Amino acid sequence: MDLSLRPLDESGFGAVVDCNLATDAEHLAPRLTAALHRHRLLIVPRQHLNHADLLAAAACFGTVDTRVDRRYAVGGFPGLTVISNIVEDGEHVGVYDGDNEEEWHADNSFKPGLTAATMLYSVITPAQGGETRFADATRAYADLPPTMRQRIEGMRAVHSIEQLGALQSQASGGQSSAAVGSLADHPEVEHPLVLTHPATGARSLLLGSMVISGITTLAETESRALLDELLEHTTSAPYVHSHRWEQGDLVVWDNLATLHTASPCDSSLHRRLLYRVAVR
């Protein structure tokens, strides 16, 4: 069974995949996993998937993580979560997908065990805004000057859900996906500033513009300056791909090798609905 891949550019970051995940996911699983490890970001357009299909496709890349916010979980399909800016009867129908730009992050970095890969499937797509931007944290690390790579070797950073929730609320007038619900009681965790990928051995920067409270071995001022410098480098134009969503797009990214953020979308004009699955 063929798997057609078209790299997004000569850097090798990201590829468009031509396949039918509703029928071929199980048979293509080893090649899809290899493609994800090679390109770190896969875009699979023109899909027609039900909830069971989405979970089956996610299982190609690992074990579906069923530890999700129960408020927005899809009943009967453990691990499937609604992401949306739609409000019905005064309540958000999914994890709030707000009007403002989201922070750069790796999914669930505030948990002890990092998410291996994340999948999003677009059902209702805004005519304007709402792009998702992805940063190649692997190539960004490789392109650091040797002196910087030596400086940050062995450093660890503190990831705080409490800080993330507070800063999200501050930035969006009280709206936060992290400040309430089942996420709010996670204690702070430490992760290496530079991750080594368990499958590929490649090294990547693990950063976050709101979730990281500091580097354990540095004073606050020096820590913030270093984190800002690394994030500015990693999210600069040479390392970023912006995905403009079309209905039926499925995108999966290696969460151990990339950062991502959502672009603004005016919810008063444009509805947006996606389903998300994460794997460990």
- The architecture (CATH level 2) of 4-279 comes to 4-Layer Sandwich (3.60)
User: Of 185 and 17, which is predicted with more confidence?
Assistant: 17
Q: What are the residue ranges spanned by the domains of the chain? A: 4-279
Distance between the two ends of the chain, CA-based, in angstroms? 26
- What pLDDT band is residue 1 in, cutting at 50, 70 and 90? low
Position 179 scores a pLDDT of 43
Looking at residue 92, its pLDDT comes to 86
Q: How far is Cα 278 from Cα 68, in angstroms, rounded to an integer? A: 9
- Spatial separation of the C-alpha atoms in residues 17 and 2, rounded to whole Å: 11
pLDDT at 62 over 50: yes
Kindly state the DSSP code that residue 185 receives in the 8-state scheme. T
Residue 54 contacts residue 249 (beta carbons within 8 Å): no
What is the pTM assigned to this prediction?
0.93
Residue 193 or residue 178, greater confidence: 193
Q: What distances in angstroms separate CA 206 from CA 31, 150, 157, 167, one per listed residue?
A: 26, 16, 9, 19
Q: What is the pLDDT confidence band of residue 184, given thresholds at 50, 70 and 90?
A: low
In sequence order, which ranges of the chain are alpha helices (DSSP H)? 21-39, 51-58, 137-142, 146-152, 161-171, 220-234
pLDDT band (50, 70, 90) for residue 177: low
Rounded to whole angstroms, the Cα distance separating 181 from 118 reads: 21
Mean pLDDT computed over 239-259:
98
pLDDT band, residue 172 (cuts 50/70/90): low
- Strand bridging mode 156-159 / 189-192: antiparallel
pLDDT tens-place string over residues 95-141: 876 667 679 999 999 999 999 999 999 999 999 999 999 999 999 99
pLDDT of residue 98: 62
Q: What value does the mean pLDDT take over residues 13-31?
A: 96
The Cα 54–Cα 148 span in angstroms is: 41
Instruction: Give the tokens for residue 39.
Output: 């390109």
Residue 173: name the closest of 99, 235, 82 by CA. Answer: 99
Report which of residues 187 and 255 the model is more confident about: 255
What phi, psi does 95 have (nearest 5°)?
Answer: -50, 130
SS3 30: helix
Residue 174 has pLDDT above 50, yes or no: yes
Six-digit token string for 80: 């499937």
Confidence band of 166 (pLDDT split at 50, 70, 90): confident
Report the pLDDT averaged over residues 187-211. Answer: 97
Report the C-alpha gap between 212 and 109 in whole angstroms.
9
